[in-house]
Amino acid sequence: NYYFKRHGSYCLQTEVSDLYLGLLILRKAKVFVHEWAHLRWGVFDEYNNDAPFYVSVNSGKASVEATRCSASVTGKYIVQSCTGNSCTTRECKSDEQTKLYEAGCKFVPEKTQNAPASIMYMQSLPSVVEFCDQSTHNEKATNLQNKMCSYHSTWEVIMNSMDFSNTSPINSASPPFETAFSLLQTKDRVVCLVLDVSGSMDGNNRIKRLKQAAEIFLLQIIETGSWVGIVTFHSTAQIETYLQQIINENVRRDLTKYLPISAGGGTNICAGVHKGFEVKENIGENYSNLYGSEIVLLTDGEDGGMSSCLTEVKNSGSIIHTIALGPNASPELEQFSNMTGGLRFYATDTVDSNGLIDAFSGISSGSGNISEQSIQLESTAQSVAVKQWMNGTVTVDSTVGNDTFFVVTWDRSTSPPDILLRDPKGKEYRTSNFTASNLNLQTARLNIAGTAEVGDWYYWIQNKHTDSQVISMIVTSRAASLAVPPVTVKALMNKDTNNFPNPMVIYAEVSQGFLPVLGATVMATVEPQTGSAVELKLLDDGSGADITKNDGVYSKYFTSFRGNGRYNLKVRVQGKDKTVRLRRRQSRALYVPGYIENGEIKMNAPRPEPSDDEIQAKLGSFNRVASGGSFVMENVPSGGTTDVFPPCKIIDLEAQYEEDKIHLSWTAPGNDFDVGQADRYIIKMSESLLDLRNTFEDATSVNTSSLVPKPAGTKESFQFKPENVTIENGTIIYFAIRAIDNASLTSEVSNIAQAALFIPPKESSPDSTPNDDVINEGINILTIVLIVAGSIIAVSIAVSMIVCILHKKNRRGGPELRM
């Protein structure tokens, strides 16, 4: 008894704590599965914070349902009112016109459920351990899963992924092995430059351009504290320098001395990679393996022996970033970056694209403090005629300014052009203030001391050479403060390798820390192996390729393919003080307002509502440039292509009743996905959502002869009176739309919108007939009111006249009496 009294309660407490810990781990595991399903399988949430309820009609009776999956999750619709620390709850009231619940209404689930789905709706429920499948999916719910995945369940989408498409069901008698997790910790960055110096690098001024770009990487891009080594290769490989830690500017300058100055011989890529591994293995005991170390591999040639080292590369644990230079770089090169998780870049021989410099500038650390990473503010180049000027403006915003470099390059003359740079306060920097490279790289560099002035910096550069030459301006900087994250841009594509005629999707995420940046002008330049570059504007408007409006991710379809091979992506972002703004990133997690346990409603604390007010004034004008790497196109027909790209799917169709008419609105698609202008629309309607989805062509047509499509990205609006449809109280009609281009190519069926008509009941007295008597009663009451009001006015006027007459008489009588 003594032992139990001393230890029994502790043991019991320990068991309870272990049980709680186990439940907590299980709950967090389901959160992990929820987020993993987003990331890995591309499914969407099955709730909707913006439209938490929808109207459903079953057996002729309308009801309001919470947006959820599955629909068998039970609960109550509750409004909570609080005064101080005292709160009360009541059932929600519905709007007579829309039948939807009042503002502030929440769906409060039962804690104990029988529903096993869905993890993409409310994984916090103890019973939920599955995704919604075909049998449990709620196709009527107004959620993003239905909208983006054509009303298919999350499990259907997951089973179509490459993870499951070629696998057999798991035998319950032989469960899978437990998942192993590895905890990784970052160390100092370790980078080895493995550079091709084969004979082909002597053409198109490649070896000099390589030195220009690599020098910028060593002097401006690679972070302080990193370790850097250099290897060159042709038929054989040579270690130019073992790893040196960048602890000051002298180390940076010393590393530039080991950059190659000549080219010759064949191409043996595996030999260069082997030497790169050897360099990194000699760093010391703290780096006993290659995990997390990086190789920057640049080559312009083909190598039939690359397959001999693929296994070693895969098992090395090293990350290999690849830079393909010119049209003949080995097609297998990207295998290295694909299997190691590295970045992939492509640079053409077009000098005025700055492709090689942009590639090296894009290889910044993927981990660590963002304040230490280099940020590219400008990268532009153009051919300048004799005695002509190249000029421009670079905005240094308040989030950057430390370690700022202005770099000017040229490609022909031995002496620098005339340079004039003026800061926002009028201070001028001339050519003599720039430092020319000792390696004769046709590069002049100016490092601004301290923190650069915030505002617009203007530059003018004159070509003094006897012939036209390409002049470029590159500007890099770092964060101005450890406490304020800089504005950053991440440019990327939806895939690394694409097969014609599938489109590419280009993205650019513009943010400051975790805050999306809205209202920026985002331009993407796609440069093919052959032909001219294509420029397109990316949008954050929730239409076309852009899934979510105002989330700081700007998107656009790209279909202007010039042939097979590599394509290079570069994104330029400009924010203007008057239009650009920050927005708090809204949590997309489902807020659970409370639970019902044993019939008792237990509410959680209200969800905090974020405010944008305090962040609006913190962001001004800015410039950013980012490389988005490269992608490879395959199966593009030779000799040009015909129109094979239809208009994009409309994803924001909305419908509502306006008196006796239906009003539809959506964003116009283009002729080729979200570019150009469609030729016409087909609009269909049905009282069955599934019929409209599955047999669109058989649904009732809407007359669209008067509807002319607008240019892509424009808001469309169309109003019509339904024909051949009996509309009565409680009628719900579903609508969908398809766009057709001038080549008769048709878009996918849009999201399905619903319009619900509910006529509010009219109040009437028990003994009166419903319609005419109510109207007559209203007229009689109005007549009485008008008569009474008129009588009061008449009496008031009469009284006023008598008072006025008496007052005038009194005024006349006064003087006579005084006489």
**Catalytic residue positions, numbered:** 35
Straight-line distance from the first to the last Cα atom of the chain, in angstroms, rounded to the nearest whole number: 123
Two structure tokens written together for 109: 């689930």
* Amino acid identity, position 671: N
Dihedral over Cα of 774, 777, 783, 789: its sign:
negative
Look at residue 487 and give its three-state secondary structure.
strand
- Residues facing residue 314 across a β-bridge: none
- With a CB cutoff of 8 Å and minimum separation 6, the contacts of 6 are none
Contact (Cβ atoms closer than 8 angstroms) between residue 270 and residue 306: yes
Two structure tokens written together for 204: 């198109």
CA distances from 685 to 61, 497, 703, 719, 745 (A): 21, 39, 11, 14, 21
Contact (Cβ atoms closer than 8 angstroms) between residue 231 and residue 374: no
Instruction: Give the whole-angstrom CA distance, residue 632 versus residue 568.
Output: 9
Instruction: Give the whole-angstrom CA distance, residue 57 versus residue 225.
Output: 65
- Residues facing residue 405 across a β-bridge: 447, 476
Contact (Cβ atoms closer than 8 angstroms) between residue 355 and residue 348: yes
Write down how long the chain is. Answer: 819
Instruction: Give the whole-angstrom CA distance, residue 419 versus residue 431.
Output: 5
Contact (Cβ atoms closer than 8 angstroms) between residue 140 and residue 54: yes
Residue 292: which region, alpha, beta or left (left: phi > 0; alpha: psi -120 to 50)?
A: left
DSSP string covering 232-273: EESSSEEEEEEEEE--SHHHHHHHHTTS-----S---HHHHH
Q: In degrees rounded to 5, what are phi and psi of residue 45? A: -65, 150
Contact (Cβ atoms closer than 8 angstroms) between residue 401 and residue 451: yes
Instruction: Give the whole-angstrom CA distance, residue 260 versus residue 237.
Output: 12
Residue 717 sits at the vertex; the CA angle it makes with 716 and 722, to the nearest 5 degrees, is: 135
Peptide bond between residue 415 and the one before it cis (omega within 30 degrees of 0): no
Two structure tokens written together for 806: 């008496």
Instruction: Give the whole-angstrom CA distance, residue 216 versus residue 228.
Output: 14
Query: For the sheet containing 700-701, what is the strand order?
Result: 700-701, 680-686, 731-740, 753-757
Instruction: Give the whole-angstrom CA distance, residue 628 versus residue 508.
Output: 8
DSSP string covering 296-335: EEEE-S--TTGGGGHHHHHHH--EEEEEEESTTS-TTHHH
